[in-house]
Structure 1
Amino acid sequence: MLIARAFIDVANPDGSIRRVHYRRAGSGPPLLLVHQSPRSSAEFVPLIGRWAAHFTVIAPDTPGFGLSAPLPLARPECEDYADAMVALLDALGLPQVAAYGFHSGAIILVTAAKRHPHRFAALACGGYAVWTEAEKAEFGAAYTPDFLPLPYGEHLPWLWGRVQEQSWFFPWYRPGNANRLPMATLDPAQAQPIVMDCLAAGNSFSLGYAAVLRANRDVPPPGAPSPPVLISAYDGDPLKAHIARLGDVPANWRIAPVATPAELEAEALAWLLAHPAPLAEPRAPDVGEGFVAVSAGGFEGLIHWRGTGDLWLHGPGSALTAAPAGTLALDLPGHGLSDPWADAPAELAPWVEVVMAALAALGAAPALVAGEGWSAVLASAVASRLGVAAANVALPPGDRDAWRARGIPDLAPDWAGTHLLKAWRMLRAETCFAPWFHASPATARAFDPAQLAPERLAVRHLALMRASAARPLLHACLDAADAAEKI
């Protein structure tokens, strides 16, 4: 099943506009999914696929997480995140939804339903925290330190260790036998997606966590309006113990502790099916940015695009975040926000086919095609297919065999997280030398020192870490450049 993705502009209380990313699939009554912190709607992809058989599923990235812009507040509270969910419903034109939230997503939803009960047909919650005042004080001081990029990448090993060890202990910062969790692992495949979501969130990682850790018990008092609410949690979830702290709940609430995640999902689905929202079609956004489905050259998936005008293609390992203003930019497969390309080819022709198919799907007819770095080779091939001009961009310096061997290092996740720091060091070197892997006085390049600001490096680092198809794209461009010189 194709899970669509889109951006929509949402109004903030101060009148400013905030861009929100969401996933959508299925048909039927609208169902809102709200993820936990510090994750994104990506964690719900398997669930979306299953529940889309019953609902029109809308899964947004909450403010400041995933690809959604943060709230314009220095210290947002849980109520602000709750109101932001209702503002999204307004932007989508949905008068009422059922909703499911996990952990902090559940906390946000319970607060939202207390503040706006008529907007929710029902809630299903995977865990709901009721903190003591002592826990609020402790967690507020230790659980959510600021997460800011540092010049030499010092923040990266800290992040990897923190994410890895949160599978070992709760709370993560208090290791000890009494705090062990049953899901301890060193598997990088489990840590990597959480780390990537944290890198995308930046310091929203800290702000979002802190808001739900400060949140009050928002169970409505007797007689207050409330939609039907299910609270459940499974064995091994630290929040299962909080079920005993709930106290009195409204008559239309159900408390159902379970043994396994599968049982939690079954309970939640049954509850939501029993309390559907009225049918309503979400409003289609039009914000000059989005995703287009492409099936060409052996690739099948979504391509992220932004803007209009001449076509601009980022280099291997980069993303359209570097695109000049006033251009139509694409994230190539396995780069940026576009879908991965399993077994991406090291031949140029399939890459050209993907770009051509994306342009056709968008109805775009650029008059000029430009490519960054080695993607100038791809840009030239696309321009030839379109019968338009290609920008005259010089190819990067350095021996091509050296580029093949060292141009894009292997950044596959490892158990110790060293791939994160390897990518950061590459980007610092790339700023100072050309080619980056030959650091010497002879290869020194002039640069603006502001390019080494940690905030700017963090944007490039995230793009490089997302670029799973960077090496095949680089090799395709190198081979095509060699072949052109032999003609």
Structure 2
Amino acid sequence: MHPKPPAIRRQFVATSAGPLHLASAGEGFPVLLLHQTPRSWDEFRDVLPLLGQRYRALALDTAGFGDSCRPALHEHSIERWAQLAVEVMDQLEIGKAAVVGHHTGAVTAMEIAAAAPDRVAALVLSSCPFNDAARRTAHAGKRTIDDVPVREDGGHLQELWQRRQPYYPAGDTDLLSRFIVDAIKAGPMASHGHVVVRNYLMEERIGLVRAPTLVLRAGRDPHAAPYGERIAQAIAGSRLQTLEEGMVPMPDQMPEQFAQAVMTFLQRVC
């Protein structure tokens, strides 16, 4: 008989930006989970109870997303998001944690490891892009995938669905519906979160990462999969693992495989 999965707890944590929403499950060594744009803790809704059977798993709503506070657009940066995540750790009296990020969350996780190395016991970068000067130039001023102007007839919701649909499993309307809910909640941040990633000077920061690192590649994610080897090569001693069927929504697309990859890595290094 399998043990009953731990219940998910919800709370708000005070930070210098305002209250950030957090969902958690389980007890033990803390594992901080950071979501992609424009998602929320819900991206890890099915991962939390799995990790929570062995760890204290915590999924944070980044400022501007989910149920967290909503600073002005110009106040957002990867560095600020990393700082706020560390503030949450401080408030929860967590000295050191494993940090797991997906897409945007992976970039924020990388910055936490670079800026506060003593707080990161292990790092998992899932579907992490490589953002350097060439990529910033190539994407400067271009429309992001979630930049869909609001229309009175609601047609923007169909357009947003259709723009994301090719990167989701065929016929999985539940995953896309969860995405749409988070995108509506995020409002302008649904697009601006991608700009925040674009503005990050990753090439100046990635070399500072010293934590044991797993680079987790989603094999069917055309936005991030091509960068997996480059990310792994830039972080000394890192390990690259590919989940071949993984797509853009990998944590909620395949939570069991995602959680297992994270736990197997953490058992080796923590």
Q: Judge same fold: TM > 0.5, yes or no.
A: yes
Cα distance in 2, alignment partners of residues 274 and 247 from structure 1: 17
The alignment status of 1:211 with 2:196, answered yes or no, reads yes
Deviation digits for residues 379-411 of structure 1, max 9, x if unmatched? Answer: xxxxxxxxxxxxxxxxxxxxxxxxxxxxxxxxx
Cα distance in 2, alignment partners of residues 129 and 225 from structure 1: 16
Corresponding residue for residue 27 of structure 1: 27
Corresponding residue for residue 61 of structure 1: 61
Q: Which moved more, 1:264-273 or 1:235-244?
A: 264-273
* Equivalent position SS for 1:84: helix
Corresponding residue for residue 52 of structure 1: 52
Deviation digits for residues 336-383 of structure 1, max 9, x if unmatched? Answer: xxxxxxxxxxxxxxxxxxxxxxxxxxxxxxxxxxxxxxxxxxxxxxxx
Relative to structure 1, the CA distance from residue 143 to residue 149 in structure 2 (aligned partners, 3 Å threshold; closer, same or farther) is closer
Corresponding residue pairs, total: 253
Q: Counterpart amino acid of 1:271? A: F
Identity %: 24
* Equivalent position SS for 2:15: strand
Is the CA contact (8 Å cut-off) linking 2:113 and 2:209 kept in structure 1? no
Is the CA contact (8 Å cut-off) linking 1:234 and 1:257 kept in structure 2? yes
The alignment status of 1:233 with 2:217, answered yes or no, reads yes
Corresponding residue for residue 398 of structure 1: none
Q: CA deviation at 1:217?
A: 2.5
1:89-108 paired onto structure 2 within 5 Å: 89-108=89-108
1:64-463 paired onto structure 2 within 5 Å: 64-72=64-72, 74-131=74-131, 133-140=133-140, 141-143=142-144, 153-154=152-153, 156-168=154-166, 183=168, 185=170, 187-218=172-203, 220-221=206-207, 224=208, 226-238=210-222, 239-246=224-231, 248-261=233-246, 263-276=257-270
Q: CA deviation at 1:147?
A: 6.1
Q: Counterpart amino acid of 2:51? A: W
Q: CA deviation at 1:257?
A: 2.9
Q: CA deviation at 1:48?
A: 0.4
Cα distance in 2, alignment partners of residues 190 and 247 from structure 1: 29
Cα distance in 2, alignment partners of residues 162 and 148 from structure 1: 10
Deviation digits for residues 193-246 of structure 1, max 9, x if unmatched? Answer: 11111111111222222101222335543xx56211111212211211112333
Is the CA contact (8 Å cut-off) linking 2:101 and 2:125 kept in structure 1? yes
Q: CA deviation at 1:273?
A: 2.5
Q: Which runs of 5+ in 1 are unaligned?
A: 13-17, 169-180, 277-487
Q: CA deviation at 1:247?
A: 6.9
Relative to structure 1, the CA distance from residue 220 to residue 242 in structure 2 (aligned partners, 3 Å threshold; closer, same or farther) is closer
Q: Counterpart amino acid of 1:143? A: T
Deviation digits for residues 440-460 of structure 1, max 9, x if unmatched? Answer: xxxxxxxxxxxxxxxxxxxxx
* Equivalent position SS for 2:45: helix
Relative to structure 1, the CA distance from residue 190 to residue 164 in structure 2 (aligned partners, 3 Å threshold; closer, same or farther) is farther
Cα distance in 2, alignment partners of residues 160 and 53 from structure 1: 38
Cα distance in 1, alignment partners of residues 161 and 198 from structure 2: 18
* Equivalent position SS for 1:232: strand
The alignment status of 1:2 with 2:7, answered yes or no, reads yes
Cα distance in 2, alignment partners of residues 34 and 198 from structure 1: 16
Deviation digits for residues 175-200 of structure 1, max 9, x if unmatched? Answer: xxxxxx5x464654332211111111
Deviation digits for residues 292-341 of structure 1, max 9, x if unmatched? Answer: xxxxxxxxxxxxxxxxxxxxxxxxxxxxxxxxxxxxxxxxxxxxxxxxxx
Q: Counterpart amino acid of 2:195? A: A
Is the CA contact (8 Å cut-off) linking 2:26 and 2:52 kept in structure 1? yes
Relative to structure 1, the CA distance from residue 196 to residue 258 in structure 2 (aligned partners, 3 Å threshold; closer, same or farther) is closer
Cα distance in 2, alignment partners of residues 85 and 147 from structure 1: 29
Cα distance in 1, alignment partners of residues 232 and 218 from structure 2: 19
Deviation digits for residues 10-51 of structure 1, max 9, x if unmatched? Answer: 124xxxxx0111101101111101111100001211100111
- Aligned-CA RMSD value: 2.4
Cα distance in 2, alignment partners of residues 194 and 225 from structure 1: 31
Give the TM-score normalised by the residue count of structure 1. 0.48
Is the CA contact (8 Å cut-off) linking 1:233 and 1:264 kept in structure 2? no
Is the CA contact (8 Å cut-off) linking 2:47 and 2:258 kept in structure 1? no
Cα distance in 2, alignment partners of residues 234 and 247 from structure 1: 14
Cα distance in 1, alignment partners of residues 242 and 172 from structure 2: 28
Please tell me whether Structure 1 or Structure 2 has the larger radius of gyration of its CA atoms: 1
Cα distance in 1, alignment partners of residues 169 and 98 from structure 2: 33
Cα distance in 2, alignment partners of residues 159 and 98 from structure 1: 36
Is the CA contact (8 Å cut-off) linking 1:148 and 1:202 kept in structure 2? no
Relative to structure 1, the CA distance from residue 134 to residue 101 in structure 2 (aligned partners, 3 Å threshold; closer, same or farther) is same
Relative to structure 1, the CA distance from residue 57 to residue 118 in structure 2 (aligned partners, 3 Å threshold; closer, same or farther) is same
Cα distance in 1, alignment partners of residues 65 and 170 from structure 2: 25
